[in-house]
Amino acid sequence: MSVSYSAIGWNRAKKAYDKVIVTGLLVYLAFFIGVSLLAHPDATIETLLIRALATAAFLMLHVILSIGPLCRLNPSFLPLLYNRRHLGVTMFLTALAHAVFAIVQFHAQGNENPLVSLLTTGTGFQTLGAAALVIFFLMAATSHDFWLANLGPRVWKTLHMGVYFAYALIVMHVALGALHSEAHPVLAIATGAGMAWLFTLHVVAALRERAGDRDDELIDDGWIDAGPVVDISEGRARIVSAGERIAVFRYDGKISAVSNVCRHQYGPLGEGRVIDGCITCPWHGYQYLPGNGRSPAPFTEKVATYDVRVVGGRAYVHSKANAPGTPVKPAHA
């Protein structure tokens, strides 16, 4: 966007979302520590704090990793996606607090520098946790739109896919540490169930996505049949595929086609709506004018446009993309 950056771009929805995150986290910590003190009166409070923060962060990580595939399976989860970044940063801060308390508790007040102690006391599980924390830090530190713009969506997304590697490190951190010392099976069951849930979610969502990736047939010099115009709901799109996905929108008695890929975080524009004359991305609400693929002023994003025509009540889109921002005369539906 070519508007000035803010520190944190809050709006009403994000504030409400953040309130839920903080409330949930505080409720979790209060219950964990409170119930622990009742059930295990001799437990040391520092140990409880370390474990409360650890399990809270671990649970948050599962929620974060679930949001993506859940949204692909059912758009009613999209409100969770909208502010997922804040959830991620909160998870990092919780994990950081856990790490600081653990390092102080187990390594400080000794005869060695605590960080040196962390690396040399031969406990592999702690090093795995530290490595994951570095990844979470890099993700949190680059979660602002400034980084998205200056690293570019491709590099930014690759960096943030590191969350999966970090998740694997954390599972091993839990397995080699807590599970190794845990007498009760619940934590192991929960960790296993979490892995199974995430794995299943991702596989199911991936299979659904694959189904949509089959290329449509090209006819007549590169045109694709996008089907009867009446089959495209007002303000919505039909997505076709020719190497990449194309969103064919119907609005105000017209047909236009743009790239299905939003410039912001590669969201599926074809699953969006036309609102106030603008194609609106379902993920974060980025907008583009259907006639030329440009964001309305003062924004400067552009997506590729495609030539369209309507013949005999059917919409056709040409598979060759025009340069982003190229105006294309809409076809009459």
Partner 1 sequence: MPDTFYVGYLETSPATARRLKRVALALIVLAGAAATVLAIATGPFDRATYEFTKERSWEGTLEATPLPVLIARTPAASGSAYSALVRLPLVAQGKHGVGAMIAGLDGASVRFNGKKIVRQGTTMLEVVPGTIERFEPSLPPDGTPVTASRIEDLGSAKFSGEIVDSKCFLGVMNPGRLEVHRACAIRCIAGGIPPMLFTRDAQGREAHLLLVDANGQPLNDRILGFVARPVTIEGRLERRDDLYYLYAETWARH
Partner 2 sequence: MLVDLARGALLVVAAYLVIGLLVAVPYLTFGIGRTDASAKTAPWTFRVIVLPGLVALWPWVLRLWIRPGRPH
Residues 53/94, Cβ–Cβ less than 8 Å: yes
- Which option in partner 2, partner 1, none does residue 105 bind, with CB closer than 5 to 8 A by kind? partner 1
Does position 3 interact with partner 1 (CB under 8 A)? The reply is: no
The burial class, CB within 10 Å (0-12 / 13-18 / 19+), for 195 is: middle
Does position 198 interact with partner 1 (CB under 8 A)? The reply is: no
Residue 41 or 312: the one with the smaller Cβ distance to partner 1 is 41
Alpha carbon separation from 240 to 182, 217, 249 (Å, rounded) = 52, 10, 11
- Which option in partner 2, partner 1, none does residue 138 bind, with CB closer than 5 to 8 A by kind? partner 2
How large is the angle between the packed helices 186-211 and 45-73, nearest 10 degrees? Answer: 20
Does position 104 interact with partner 2 (CB under 8 A)? The reply is: no
Contact track, partner 2, 116-145, x by CB under 8 A: x--xx----------------xx-xxx-x-
Does position 165 interact with partner 2 (CB under 8 A)? The reply is: no
Does position 7 interact with partner 2 (CB under 8 A)? The reply is: yes
The pair phi, psi for residue 109, each rounded to 5°, is: 60, 25
The structure tokens 């309130």 sit at 19
Does position 112 interact with partner 2 (CB under 8 A)? The reply is: yes
Does position 205 interact with partner 1 (CB under 8 A)? The reply is: no
Q: What angle do CA 280, 68, 12 make, to 5 degrees?
A: 55
- Which option in partner 2, partner 1, none does residue 129 bind, with CB closer than 5 to 8 A by kind? none
Does position 40 interact with partner 1 (CB under 8 A)? The reply is: yes
Nearest to 102 by CA among 49, 57, 171: 49
- Alpha-carbon torsion 147, 100, 184, 176, what sign? positive
Can you tell me the distance from the alpha carbon of 126 to that of 105, in angstroms, rounded to the nearest whole number?
Answer: 13
- Span between the terminal Cα atoms of the chain, in Å: 32
**Sites of contact with partner 1 (CB under 8 A):** 11, 13-14, 16, 20, 23-25, 27-36, 39-40, 42-44, 46-47, 51-52, 55-56, 59, 75-76, 78-79, 82-83, 105-112, 117-118, 121-123, 125-126, 176-178, 180-184, 186-187, 190, 235, 272-273, 275, 280, 282, 284-285
**Sites of contact with partner 2 (CB under 8 A):** 1-8, 112-113, 115-116, 119-120, 137-138, 140-142, 144, 146-147, 149-155
